[in-house]
Amino acid sequence: MDHARYMREALLEAEKAYALGEVPVGAVVVLDGEVVGRGHNLREILKDSTAHAEILALREAAGRVGDWRLPGATVYSTIEPCPMCAGAMVQFRVETLVYGAADPKAGAVDSVIDVVRQPRFNHRVEVVAGVLEEECRAIMQRFFKNLREKNHGEMAELVEGARLEIE
């Protein structure tokens, strides 16, 4: 498998999320060399806390394949999956997870806990970490930097407005 090629597809999905003002996480599901599912975060737009990139990509893949089981599938995610998404990969019977950048605060593969290789579960997922790591980290850093700058600007406007009302 050409991991970099498919991670670039996931990065395109992350850019879509970024353009919508969503946290820029993207994912694709690949089966037999074909992308069968795509997703990017839509939590804010859909007002749905489960609308993570990986979940949406897995749902699309299952719909296209016609089965909730995705044996032989590889999920490419720009960021280390959270517990919900990692658990979904176990439930969907995904063979391999390839992710870009670690998530030290909520990662459920290598950072905080390991859901996908839990020996007590009836299925485990192989993991490849760090594919296009710098690019995957950079889009997240850019998003949160812009968000902080925007929030700082809005706060400054509120403070200035409050100051004018007091005078």
Catalytically annotated residues: 54
DSSP string, 138-165: HHHHHHHHHHHHHHHHHHHHHHHHHHHH
Strand 96-101 relative to strand 74-79: parallel, antiparallel, unpaired?
parallel
Edge to edge, what strands does the sheet with 34-40 contain? 34-40, 26-31, 74-79, 96-101, 126-129
Q: Alpha helix locations (H) across 20-132?
A: 43-46, 53-65, 83-91
Cα angle vertex 11, ends 81, 64, to 5°?
A: 75
